[in-house]
Amino acid sequence: MPFEWQDGKREAPEISGASCFGAGDAPLARLSLWPYRSLSRRGFVWFIAVTVALISLPLLAVLGTMLLWGLLPFLAAAVGAMWYFLERSYKDGTLLEELEIWSDHISLRRHEPRGPERSWEANPYWVSVHLHPSGGPVENYLTLKGGGREVELGAFLTPEERAELHDQLTYLLIRLREAEARI
């Protein structure tokens, strides 16, 4: 799954009324999200090699003729374009979203391959998690609302993963609010 929870708690085994997390302490929970990669680097090498081999087969028929020199630039351009766009896909795959939750604030940072880092912070007590089954740019569009803004989370995940993440975040924020109410 292209998201992973890391437990940042150092003392209390559960979110409890015992507030041992001040400013600068490790977050109660940390979530990292990244786009799914369907082609590994090794698969990329194999794909390019097989593509070159298959494109070269028809060239054997025109080997030694002037037609070879007419076809060769187009075939090389096709392989070059595939290489370029697969490399661009890898660069876009370096996108990373990091959500950190403390008892007193929540922070979301989005590291984009091209462009500045974007961030959002709010008080987790007032943050609400929304799942828009339809009407958003993607199915099961997931947003966090708080601090006067609504931000998207994991738009690159599958609809099922966004629904699962919605349930996990909602549960975590409810537990956090209950713990704060006990104090």
Domain that holds residue 137: 3-37+93-182
Res 11 pLDDT > 50: no
The stretch 46-67 carries a mean pLDDT of 93
How far apart are the C-alpha atoms of 6 and 73, rounded to whole Å? 50
Q: Count of domains in the chain? A: 2
The stretch 72-98 carries a mean pLDDT of 92
Indicate if 157 and 169 belong to the same structural domain. yes
Indicate if 9 and 77 belong to the same structural domain. no
| pLDDT band, very low/low/confident/very high, at 24 (cuts 50, 70, 90) | low
**E strand or H helix at 120:** strand 118-122
Which residues, including other chains, have CB under 8 Å from residue 114's CB and lie 6 or more apart?
A: 91
Q: Which residue has the tokens 């799914």?
A: 36
Indicate if 46 and 118 belong to the same structural domain. no
Output the pLDDT for position 92.
82
How far apart are the C-alpha atoms of 98 and 118, rounded to whole Å? 11
Indicate if 137 and 47 belong to the same structural domain. no
Half-sphere exposure of 6 (CA within 13 A, CB side): 10
Indicate if 16 and 63 belong to the same structural domain. no
How far apart are the C-alpha atoms of 73 and 172, rounded to whole Å? 57
